[in-house]
Chains A and B, each alone.
Chain A
Amino acid sequence: MEAVFLKLVDLSLAAGWLVLAVLALRLVFRKAPKWVHCLLWGLVGLRLACPASIESPLSLMPPAPAWTAVPAAPPVIQNGGAAPGTWTSPLLEETLSQTTGGGGGVSWLQVLAWVWAIGAAGMLLYALASFLLLKRRLATATRLRGNVFQSEGVDSPFVLGLFRPVIYLPYDLAPPERDYVLAHEEAHIRRRDHWWKPLGFILLSIYWFHPLIWVAYCFLCRDIEAACDEKVVRALSPEDRRGYSRALLRCTVRRFRVAACPLAFGEVGVKERVKNVMNYKKPAFWVLLLALLGVGIAAVCLLTDPPVEISPLFGVTFSPGEVIYQAENVPILPDMQSIQIQVNGVLRFSQNWSVTEIGTLEETELTRRNFDNYFPSSAGNLPAQLRGRTKRAYLRIFDHHDLGPLMYYVLEMPGSEKYLACGRWDSEGLSDPLSDDSTFYWVLRLESEESNSDIPTDSAHFAALTPGTSYVSWQCLYMSPLSSQAPFADSAFRYLVEQDAFTMVYRGSSVIGGSGESLDGRDGRTSIPVESWKYTDFPYSEEEWAGLFLIRESVIPIQALYRQIGYLQLDENHFLLSPDGALWLGTLGRNPDGSRFLWSIYSLVPEEQMGTAQWYSTPDCPRFCPGSPSPSTWTAPRSPPTVSPASWWILTGRASPGAPPCGSRPATGSIGFPGGT
């Protein structure tokens, strides 16, 4: 309910502006027919009734304030194992924690949400009760004709009922006045006002906390009556108008309460209405046109929201750069392979095949208190310097499974300089600055990954598939646990990219890792016809892709690790992938129910670049992995693929170029190899 309430506050704030705009437009269009005003209120209603809004650059609405930001879905931790963060927007959290004041675990937000719910229910009940009471009072009303009834329980004529609207008149209303009144009420029914007005009241009940919505409702009632008068008067002679006005005056009843149901004849502002009736002139065509145009423009500008401004930081993947500050004995090292800030502001790290989602970054203001004080005095003027140059700062608190709450600051400096700072977060700190125990562990520079500014969209970014090239496997990235084969780095095949085919040639059972079976039993050679060596978009969603893996722990989070993934379907069981320039071969198996699962993924290298390299066993690796070709031959191939640190890791089995060879790779690299038997 709190979320609903916050959403409503959000909507009502936007609608509040719209009400002000409509009030101004009413002034501009005061010469226009009154139904144009009703149309304008319709816009307000639409805005209030629709939780979703359309973004438009033409929007004149002010951007929504940040404090109503509702925390998104809890962060999904794919492999990091950390507990999902339970933090909401820090600012909101702060506001609420300041105002809670030991309220026994009930937050102000909850209290406000309840107050709102009770108020809304109260108003709807009031409407229902007054409707039922009125209905009872009108039970003895006697039929005059058709749907026109008379009753002594009626002071002034009105329409009641949603589906079979009935006009109720007092007994003492006689022709000719009665005829004018009836004309008015029938016009109401034809205009469907007996629907619009209750609809308005329902919206008012929901948004009762917003004074401008009350103003809007009062004006709506007024404009409905005025529009209805116009509809009747349009066909009347001047003498009839006089009669109509007399009837209006006669039926005037002051109402102090906001009438929920009935559309009364003489409800509001008799004088103004009489004036309007007496002075009514058929509006000129151009006035009408102009007014409609105005409503159209208002709809475009006011019903839509301005596009959310996306920070240049968002939608970019960074690699860790220089660590400019590190405290002593930090429990968490800046050892991520890449740092990604998604378009929606979600911060995620990838580290050894696993992706840890930190959560949505919220813009924050850096102060001495929430930044400088978190450094020890030994840091000198570094914090002040950093803060001074920061153009924009973002913060996300992340509940680490072992270390407790961690704070992650992303600092955006002028130019392309960016920093990531991590430290322990003391949740008590905000309310009690003296005992604030928050401390920064490290600050590191974020390096934009190469070519992220202009990601090439042509296939040049993908591994080149030049006909005539032969490939061999370099690493087994994944092998289904159902396989009886050990996940050897060498698949024992040679892969030929031909003009119109992809051919897999079995290299013989003597090859280490070979299964000893020949494919299809025919001279160990299988050709898959290929029409075009063109990559297409990666066809799987993250979920679908993960579903292809039999064990959740072994999912390769390919979408999170690579920016561009080329996909080339060979046949129903084989496909090529080119994640950020690398080349992988995937094989699919078929479950008994016809669904597919992933059998294996091998990374491929051109055979000539493999050279005389061997696939051999290393003591640290629980499998065979290729001997490392010297970095110089691999980092400068004929068509150099752009290799992100993550894919470098895949290709080389090393953390980054220059690191020790595969044999000493930390054991954490074993993800993705469930270990076939």
Chain B
Amino acid sequence: MATPKIFESEYRFCRILWRTEPVESRELARLCQEELGWRKSTTYTVLKRLSDRGVLKNDHAVVTSLVSQEEVQVAQMDEMMEKTFGGSLPAFLAAFARRQELTQEQIDEIQKIIEG
């Protein structure tokens, strides 16, 4: 089974979980409030969401993970590799040019102003 998709903020949450599991959900909410600045309700929402996705299980208010940190890291690395275009600047710029609707010409121009 493929490793479930985990967003960055969820990854931060999972790091706390991996460190402390098995852990009571109440304790988890307290830790998240302290370390992530989350409201308690946010923690419970995320718990529900991740348990639906099969990342963790919440059994009578005791939370344990179903995926290991290594698995998630490997999956994320693959994703990064797809995204980074080998680190070449033109490709990188082209990437966000697509996003920002600036033409290559415009970007070059601005680059010139910066570096010139």
Residues of A within 8 A of B (CB): 139-143, 149-152, 171, 242, 245-246, 249-250, 252-254, 270-271, 274-275, 278
Q: Which residue of A140, A171, A246 is within 8 Å of B38 (Cβ)? A: A140
Tell me, rounded to whole Å, the shortest Cβ–Cβ distance linking A239 to chain B.
11
Chain B: CB-nearest residue to A279: B113
Residues of B within 8 A of A (CB): 7-10, 12-13, 35-39, 42, 45-46, 96, 99-102, 106-107, 109-111, 113-115
A142 in contact with B114 (CB, 8 Å): no
Chain A: CB-nearest residue to B102: A252
**Cα A350 to Cα B12 with chains together (Å):** 85
Chain B: CB-nearest residue to A143: B37
Contacts of A252 in B (CB 8 A): 96, 100, 102
Contacts of B38 in A (CB 8 A): 139-140, 142
A271 in contact with B110 (CB, 8 Å): yes
Could you show 14 A-B contacts with beta carbons less than 8 Å apart? Answer: A139-B38, A139-B45, A140-B42, A142-B9, A142-B13, A142-B36, A143-B36, A149-B37, A249-B107, A252-B96, A252-B100, A270-B102, A271-B109, A274-B110
**Cα A100 to Cα B36 with chains together (Å):** 61
Chain A: CB-nearest residue to B12: A142
Q: A140 and B46 in contact (CB under 8 A), knowing A149-B37, A253-B100? A: yes
Contacts of A139 in B (CB 8 A): 38-39, 42, 45
A274 in contact with B10 (CB, 8 Å): no
Contacts of B7 in A (CB 8 A): 140, 152
Tell me, rounded to whole Å, the shortest Cβ–Cβ distance linking B7 to chain A.
5
**Cα A635 to Cα B25 with chains together (Å):** 105
Q: Besides A140-B10, A140-B13, 5 other CB < 8 A contacts?
A: A139-B38, A142-B9, A242-B114, A249-B107, A249-B114
Output the residue of B13, B37, B38 with the most chain A CB within 10 A: B37
Q: Which residue of B101, B109, B110, B111 is within 8 Å of A254 (Cβ)? A: B101
A242 in contact with B115 (CB, 8 Å): yes
Tell me, rounded to whole Å, the shortest Cβ–Cβ distance linking B103 to chain A.
12
The B interface is mostly helix, strand or loop, or mixed, namely helix
**Cα A151 to Cα B7 with chains together (Å):** 9
A254 in contact with B100 (CB, 8 Å): yes
Q: A150 and B114 in contact (CB under 8 A), knowing A254-B101, A271-B109? A: no
A278 in contact with B114 (CB, 8 Å): yes
**Cα A140 to Cα B7 with chains together (Å):** 10
Contacts of A245 in B (CB 8 A): 110, 113-114
**Cα A143 to Cα B42 with chains together (Å):** 13
Contacts of B37 in A (CB 8 A): 141-143, 149
The A interface is mostly helix, strand or loop, or mixed, namely mixed
Contacts of A270 in B (CB 8 A): 102, 110
Q: A250 and B96 in contact (CB under 8 A), knowing A139-B39, A152-B9? A: yes
Tell me, rounded to whole Å, the shortest Cβ–Cβ distance linking B109 to chain A.
7
**Cα A570 to Cα B70 with chains together (Å):** 103
Tell me, rounded to whole Å, the shortest Cβ–Cβ distance linking A142 to chain B.
4
B8 in contact with A171 (CB, 8 Å): yes
**Cα A254 to Cα B13 with chains together (Å):** 31
**Cα A141 to Cα B107 with chains together (Å):** 31
B9 in contact with A150 (CB, 8 Å): yes
**Cα A274 to Cα B107 with chains together (Å):** 11
Which 8 residue pairs across A and B have the least CB separation, nearest first?
A143-B37, A142-B36, A140-B9, A171-B8, A245-B114, A142-B12, A139-B42, A152-B8
**Cα A271 to Cα B103 with chains together (Å):** 12
Contacts of A246 in B (CB 8 A): 114
Chain B: CB-nearest residue to A271: B110
**Cα A151 to Cα B99 with chains together (Å):** 18
Contacts of B42 in A (CB 8 A): 139-140
Q: Which residue of A143, A171, A250, A254 is within 8 Å of B35 (Cβ)? A: A143
Tell me, rounded to whole Å, the shortest Cβ–Cβ distance linking B80 to chain A.
10
**Cα A25 to Cα B48 with chains together (Å):** 57
Q: A141 and B114 in contact (CB under 8 A), knowing A249-B107, A271-B106? A: no
B114 in contact with A274 (CB, 8 Å): yes
Chain A: CB-nearest residue to B49: A140
Contacts of A253 in B (CB 8 A): 99-100
Contacts of B102 in A (CB 8 A): 252, 270
Tell me, rounded to whole Å, the shortest Cβ–Cβ distance linking B63 to chain A.
16
**Cα A270 to Cα B113 with chains together (Å):** 11
**Cα A658 to Cα B101 with chains together (Å):** 93
Contacts of A152 in B (CB 8 A): 7-9
Contacts of B10 in A (CB 8 A): 140
**Cα A181 to Cα B115 with chains together (Å):** 19
Output the residue of A246, A249, A253, A270 with the most chain B CB within 10 A: A249
Chain B: CB-nearest residue to A140: B9
Q: Which residue of B9, B45, B113, B115 is within 8 Å of A151 (Cβ)? A: B9
**Cα A141 to Cα B12 with chains together (Å):** 10
A249 in contact with B110 (CB, 8 Å): yes
**Cα A250 to Cα B97 with chains together (Å):** 9
Tell me, rounded to whole Å, the shortest Cβ–Cβ distance linking A312 to chain B.
63
Contacts of B109 in A (CB 8 A): 271
Tell me, rounded to whole Å, the shortest Cβ–Cβ distance linking B85 to chain A.
14
Chain A: CB-nearest residue to B41: A139
**Cα A141 to Cα B32 with chains together (Å):** 11
Q: A275 and B113 in contact (CB under 8 A), knowing A139-B42, A143-B35? A: yes
Contacts of B96 in A (CB 8 A): 250, 252
Tell me, rounded to whole Å, the shortest Cβ–Cβ distance linking B39 to chain A.
7
**Cα A106 to Cα B73 with chains together (Å):** 68
Tell me, rounded to whole Å, the shortest Cβ–Cβ distance linking B87 to chain A.
14
Contacts of B114 in A (CB 8 A): 242, 245-246, 249, 274, 278
**Cα A140 to Cα B12 with chains together (Å):** 10
Q: Which residue of B13, B36, B45, B113 is within 8 Å of A278 (Cβ)? A: B113
Contacts of A278 in B (CB 8 A): 113-114
**Cα A37 to Cα B115 with chains together (Å):** 28
**Cα A242 to Cα B114 with chains together (Å):** 6
Tell me, rounded to whole Å, the shortest Cβ–Cβ distance linking B50 to chain A.
11
**Cα A524 to Cα B116 with chains together (Å):** 108
Tell me, rounded to whole Å, the shortest Cβ–Cβ distance linking B28 to chain A.
14
Tell me, rounded to whole Å, the shortest Cβ–Cβ distance linking A484 to chain B.
82
Chain A: CB-nearest residue to B32: A142
Output the residue of A142, A270, A271 with the most chain B CB within 10 A: A142
B9 in contact with A141 (CB, 8 Å): yes
**Cα A275 to Cα B112 with chains together (Å):** 10
**Cα A271 to Cα B114 with chains together (Å):** 10
Tell me, rounded to whole Å, the shortest Cβ–Cβ distance linking A467 to chain B.
88
**Cα A249 to Cα B106 with chains together (Å):** 11
Tell me, rounded to whole Å, the shortest Cβ–Cβ distance linking A174 to chain B.
12
Contacts of A242 in B (CB 8 A): 114-115
